[in-house]
Structure 1
Amino acid sequence: MNTTFNNQKISKLIKLIVPQSVIKVSSKLINSSKIKNKLSHFLLQIAVKSELLSSLYYALFSRAFAKEHRGCIYGQLKYIEGHPTNQESQYLLRRNIHRIEKGLLMQPRRDVFATDYISETVQSYETVLAGCDDYADLSELGWACDVLSKYFTVVASHPVIDEMRKKFLALKHVASAEVPRIPYKRDLSKPTSVNYENLLELSYRRRSVRWYLQKPVPRELIDKAITIAALSPSACNRQPFEFRVFDEPQIIQKVASIPMGTQGFSHNFPVIVVVVGKLRAYFSERDRHVIYIDGSLASMSFMYALETLGLSSCPINWPDIDLKEREMATLLGLELDERPIMLISLGYPDPDGMVAYSHKKSLSQLRRYS
């Protein structure tokens, strides 16, 4: 909780809400933390009474959400502009293609669907296709092409759909894969090669490791782990995150020195990763928390994958502190909508290094059937 207030604002507030005949407090007392804490408690009791008062509280007395507000606005502008670069995918296209996928696999499938967004989808696809020479991943365009092809094959006639079908068929598409990347039935005839006991063993093996052998980590192993992370679930398949990997000693120390909680052991990190979320993936601030959800899902898969490759890791908390955000943004060259989600150190574990027992909550504490 942010209880730091501007002294002038506090003094003015006290004069407004407390009669001078009732309280005569010296400026020294006003500035004391005891008075500030009491005033903070009083203001919170008022602010919680309505959304308007809560908004006024953060507008007048705390900047805790200021960076998020600006980041959301900047992200929405980037989303609206929607021009992909050689580093970015087109988030509107990814979202809508996945929406079409869900329509194709629906039981029963409707004869007509996606009429409210098929026009913007085809337009987005056409725009990206026109600049495909600079596009990051042509296989993404191939996936979009396959799904749209299937959609226009099975959907019934409708004025909007018929117009978009004609427009889509007239485009010059990128080469498609041998097997169309469209909704499919999984082969469930064979049991998975990883059983529950295997996964439980891996879960017990994965600990937050803070001590590593001082040996280089091959980048191909890190890439393998990120490949696994990329298969994690993501809302509308937007994958609004990026793994920034640092394996050069000088920059590792600069990055590792910014978050709190790394003192005393950050000097032995062979690699540090900053998981960065991108608010530009969303058209509305309603989805502003999804970067943390999707980024965390991918991070957990990443850490499990590292264990299978003989590596260990330690997730590092990233509290929302403005000074730290600015330091990281400057060092990494982040744009306004790019937010650090967490940091992850990794390397070959030191066999002599200990890990915390970290007793976990019981099943009865974590589970509740309705």
Structure 2
Amino acid sequence: MKIILKRALPQDLRSSVKTYLNRINFKIAKCCSKSAFLSSAYYFLFNKSFRRENQSVLNGRLQYESAIQDSNKSNVLLRRNIHRIEKGLIMRPRRSVFGLGFIEETVHAYVKEVEVNKVSHQELKWATDVLSEYFETIDIGTSKLVDELRRKYEKAIKDTVISFEHDIYQPNKGSYSPYFREDNETSGVSYNQLLMLFKQRRSVRWFQQTPVPEEIINKAIRAASLAPSACNRQPFKFYTTTDKKVAKEVGAIPMGTAGFSSNFQSVIVVTGDLSCYPYERDRHVIYIDASLASMQLVLALETMEVSSCIVNWPDIEHLEQKMEDRLGLSKHIRPIMLIAVGYADKSGKIPFSQKKGIDLLKQDI
């Protein structure tokens, strides 16, 4: 009906009708904004902007429960709970007994992963080292449950051999349990050097006709994986292509790339995985964690003389559907942003984009 009216009405009348409808919508929205219930009713009756998010969050919850039963490569519950144990181990002062609310499900998840042997061996070593320190640290005999779980854990690791490539970033003499800050190897990067890197990285839209080697993109993703993430769940994935034809096609999907997406050589689509969370309260964490990782990714690319352009991804239903179809995304996976990647055409200009000053950004608490 909307399309028929749009075609039937002359342009000036269309504008008048649109203005009139917007005024009515504004008055309804103003009235509904006075309570949470009416706000929900407004978005149910008059605005469908959040329907995809609602469906994605709900699918994420269901997928989370399914993943607990059939994990593959990375167990979300185990990752979260091992990190919770880590935080208990580093507390000052450290409690003699802690983690009783989740240690049972943690050990059960760990034993299952040992038996199934699908999870990453590095993740399994991390879980093993942390759980070993937990059971060595906690007071013996304070809880029958803990004693029983300790025996179950020790039985699981008795004949378990964890083989993997040693992580060169681990400073704790081969152990993946918590370590002292003083054992960290410092980078030697000064503030001024880091600031220069930040100034160097700008959104480049004109690239040389050369795709970025996959090896370089893999190195940047490795750097991105070291970004902070809530409970170490890392709810993101990078869909990449170094195929110029595919880069142009995918790069043309979002708004705002008309006129320069035909120049894209390589593209990364950053997505968030809502199946990492059992509760709706965590639905925004995919955006926080993926953004932190993406910033490290583009800075890592810059150190390898590869430029980038962050492409905004607003929540527009037909574009969401188009990207979902193109990448084969499940409903609980949300596109968060695109990153065009390439070797900068040095004759191409970039916007100056003056940033806000400290006086506008800093606010005392």
Q: Does the alignment reach a TM-score above 0.5?
A: yes
Are the aligned partners of 1:142 and 1:174 in contact in 2 as well (CA < 8 Å)?
no
Identity %: 45
| Residues 96-151 of structure 1: CA deviation (Å, up to 9, x unaligned) | 0000000000000000000000011111112222221x33x211111111111110
Are the aligned partners of 1:138 and 1:174 in contact in 2 as well (CA < 8 Å)?
no
TM-superposed CA distance for 1:84, in Å, is 4.8
Are the aligned partners of 2:268 and 2:338 in contact in 1 as well (CA < 8 Å)?
yes
1:75 aligns to 2:60 (yes or no) = yes
Counterpart CA distance in 1 for 2:65 and 2:99 is: 20
Alignment partner of 1:171: what SS?
helix
Are the aligned partners of 1:318 and 1:340 in contact in 2 as well (CA < 8 Å)?
yes
Counterpart CA distance in 1 for 2:339 and 2:42 is: 34
1:153 aligns to 2:136 (yes or no) = yes
Counterpart CA distance in 1 for 2:257 and 2:14 is: 36
Q: 2:103 is matched with which residue: 118, 128, 141?
A: 118
1:250 aligns to 2:245 (yes or no) = yes
RMSD: 2.1
Tell me the equivalent position of 2:279: 284
Alignment partner of 2:181: what SS?
coil
Counterpart CA distance in 2 for 1:40 and 1:96 is: 46
Tell me the equivalent position of 2:170: none
Counterpart CA distance in 1 for 2:15 and 2:192 is: 60
Q: Would the alpha carbon gap of residues 103 and 189 (structure 1) be closer, same or farther in structure 2, given more than 3 Å must change?
A: closer
Are the aligned partners of 2:239 and 2:270 in contact in 1 as well (CA < 8 Å)?
yes
Q: Would the alpha carbon gap of residues 61 and 31 (structure 1) be closer, same or farther in structure 2, given more than 3 Å must change?
A: farther
- Give the residue type in structure 2 aligned to 1:175: I
30-39 vs 138-147, which deviates more? 30-39
The aligned runs of 1:69-108 (5 Å cut-off) are 69-81=54-66, 82-84=68-70, 86=72, 88-108=73-93
Q: 2:152 is matched with which residue: 124, 142, 167?
A: 167
- Give the residue type in structure 2 aligned to 1:139: Q
Counterpart CA distance in 2 for 1:231 and 1:164 is: 31
1:339 aligns to 2:324 (yes or no) = no
| Residues 250-282 of structure 1: CA deviation (Å, up to 9, x unaligned) | 221221111011111111111000001000000
TM-superposed CA distance for 1:29, in Å, is 9.4
1:236 aligns to 2:231 (yes or no) = yes
Q: 1:259 is matched with which residue: 234, 238, 254?
A: 254
TM-score, normalised on structure 1?
Answer: 0.89
- Give the residue type in structure 1 aligned to 2:305: G
Counterpart CA distance in 1 for 2:278 and 2:247 is: 34
- Runs of 5+ unmatched residues, structure 1: 8-27
Alignment partner of 2:156: what SS?
coil
76-85 vs 165-174, which deviates more? 76-85
1:66 aligns to 2:66 (yes or no) = no
1:32 aligns to 2:2 (yes or no) = no
TM-superposed CA distance for 1:184, in Å, is 0.4
TM-superposed CA distance for 1:161, in Å, is 1.1
Counterpart CA distance in 2 for 1:308 and 1:222 is: 12
Counterpart CA distance in 2 for 1:191 and 1:104 is: 23
Tell me the equivalent position of 2:309: 314
315-324 vs 151-160, which deviates more? 151-160
- Runs of 5+ unmatched residues, structure 2: 5-12, 167-172
Are the aligned partners of 1:30 and 1:36 in contact in 2 as well (CA < 8 Å)?
no
Alignment partner of 1:264: what SS?
coil
